[in-house]
Amino acid sequence: MISHNQKEALIQAAAAARQQAYAPYSNYPVGAAILTEDGRIITGCNVENASYGLSMCAERTAVFKMVSEGGQQRIQAVVVCTANGGSPCGACRQVLTEFAGDVPVWLTDAAGNIYETTLYALLPHHFGPEHLTK
Ligand code: THU
C-alpha cells in the first residue's frame, strides 16, 4: 500500500530529477522516480547524446540505477515528470514491466497536474519473464 506521503515524495523526486536532465537536443527534460517494494525511491532523468540515437530515457535510467545499486528489485509505483504530462515510451514500458506488475503510474507535468494510469494499461499483453519459464 502506498501512503499519501510516499506518493508526494515520489512526485517531488521525479520533479527534482527532471532538473538534472541532460536534454540539449530535444529541450524536453524528463524526470522519473520509482518506488521499490521495500520503500526506496530511485530517480532518473533523460541523458541525450550528440549521436541522437544513443540518448537514454529517464525511466530506464531509474530502472538501471535500481538494479546497479543492488537491493530489492520489485517496483510498486512510477512517477514521470515532463513539461506537459508526456507518457513513457514503449521501450520504457517494456523495461518497467520486467520489474513491476500492474502498478500505478502517475504522469505529472510542470504545472502540478497528475494523471493516474497503470503499467498494464500502458502496455497490454506485455511480454514478461514469465513467458520464458518452462
Ligand atoms: N524521453 C524520456 O526520457 N522518457 C520517455 O518515456 C519519453 C521520451 C526523453 C527521450 C529524449 O531525451 C526526450 O525525452 C525527447 O524524446
Residue 39 pLDDT: 96
Q: Whole-angstrom Cα distance, residue 58 to residue 44?
A: 5
Structural domain count, the chain:
1
Please give the number of the atom of ligand 1 that sits closest to the Cα of 26.
15
Each residue of 81-108: pLDDT tens digit? 999 999 999 999 999 999 999 999 999 9
Residues of the chain below pLDDT 50: none
Gyration radius (Cα) of the chain, Å: 14
φ, ψ (nearest 5 deg) of residue 114: -130, 125
Residue 15 pLDDT: 98
CA of 1 to the centre of ligand 1 (A): 29
Model's pTM, two decimal places? 0.97
- Cell numbers 520504457: residue: 92
Residue 36 pLDDT: 98
Burial class of residue 51 in the structure, from the number of CB atoms within 10 Å of its CB (0-12 exposed, 13-18 middle, 19+ buried):
exposed
Residue 133 pLDDT: 80
- Cell numbers 502540478: residue: 112
Q: Whole-angstrom Cα distance, residue 41 to residue 65?
A: 11
| Ligand 1 residue neighbourhood (C-beta within 6 Å) | 23, 26, 28, 30, 46, 48, 55, 57-59, 86, 88-89, 92
Q: Residue with the nearest Cα to atom 9 of ligand 1? A: 57
CATH number reported for the structural domain that contains residue 124 in this entry: 3.40.140.10
Query: Structural domain of residue 125, as residue ranges?
Result: 4-131
The number of angstroms, rounded, from the C-alpha of 93 to the middle of its chain's C-alpha atoms is 8
Catalytic residue among 8, 37, 48, 59: 59
